[in-house]
Amino acid sequence: MKRDLGVVPAVYPMPVLMVAAYDEEEKVNVMNVAWGQICDEDKIILFIGEGKKTWLNIKASKAFTVSIADEAHMDVADFFGIASGNKIDDKFQRTNYHAVKSDKVHAPIIEEFPVAMECELLEFLDTKYVSGIVGKIVNVKAEESVLSENGKVDPKRLHALMFDQFQNGYYTTGEEVGKAWNAGLQILRG
């Protein structure tokens, strides 16, 4: 029997995404975003509140990168979520991490995170209920160490972080339990 839990953000898992952009002086800012998702083959949407430092930087620079946080970098990924760029002058500098300028968009790539999407700003969504940023993915860069033999990102090698809003925990991707567009074929066939 199910028990009422009230209103809770009951979607699991949530990705742990590191969103980076330059400010007007080319200083790097990074924030941890769990409320983001692919919304087309080449588009991503991030639900970032208006006025956040990263939101302001993206508005100014018209570009950003989105990296997938992994288990090896959980402490810094969490720091990027709990420290506000509007309150700490240079939170990126505190980490001793390294940023390189993307060769595809005007945004920094954080070298320590193994997968990065380079994105151009398409539009801001600002409605009564939603504040979001839609970006066009122009390229994805990935470390060789997280690629499978077929040249694609391998979740078992990536150890991507997932955010759990129920218990406020981080988890990592696990073992494959089935193949998409295949596990339900028997039911489809009747």
- The per-residue DSSP string of 31-50 comes to EEESSEEEEETTEEEE---T
Phi, psi of 73 (to 5 degrees): -120, 25
Q: What percent of the chain has pLDDT over 90?
A: 74
Burial degree of 22 (CB within 10 A; 0-12, 13-18, 19+): buried
Distance CA 47, CA 120 (A): 16
Give SS3 for 184.
Answer: coil
Rounded mean pLDDT, 58-80? 97
Distance CA 124, CA 142 (A): 27
Number of separate domains in the chain: 1
For residue 9, being part of any structural domain is answered with: no
Rounded mean pLDDT, 89-114? 95
**More reliable by pLDDT, 68 or 49:** 68
* 163-181 pLDDT, tens digit each: 998 999 999 987 888 889 8
Residue 16: per-residue pLDDT: 96
**More reliable by pLDDT, 51 or 100:** 100
Q: Which parts of 50-162 fold into alpha helices (H)?
A: 53-61, 74-82, 155-158
For residue 2, being part of any structural domain is answered with: no
pLDDT band at 51 (very low <50, low <70, confident <90, very high): confident
Residue 11: per-residue pLDDT: 87
> Position 137: which residue type?
I
For residue 6, being part of any structural domain is answered with: no
For residue 84, being part of any structural domain is answered with: yes
Which residue segment(s) compose the domain that 139 sits in? 14-189
Residue 185: per-residue pLDDT: 86
Residue 146: per-residue pLDDT: 97
Is 90 exceeded by the pLDDT of residue 188? no
The residue assigned the tokens 């509140």 is: 49
DSSP H or E run through 185: helix 185-189
Rounded mean pLDDT, 82-102? 91
Residue 75: per-residue pLDDT: 96
Residue 73: per-residue pLDDT: 97
CATH assignment of the domain containing 160: 2.30.110.10
For residue 4, being part of any structural domain is answered with: no
pTM greater than 0.85 = yes
For residue 1, being part of any structural domain is answered with: no
For residue 5, being part of any structural domain is answered with: no
Residue 9: per-residue pLDDT: 85
Distance CA 40, CA 24 (A): 30
**Please, which residues bridge with residue 29 across strands?**
21
For residue 41, being part of any structural domain is answered with: yes
In sequence order, what are the residues at sequence separation of 6 or more whose Cβ sits closer than 8 angstroms to the Cβ of residue 45?
36, 37, 39, 125, 132, 133, 134, 135
* 105-152 pLDDT, tens digit each: 999 999 999 999 999 999 999 899 999 999 999 999 999 999 999 999
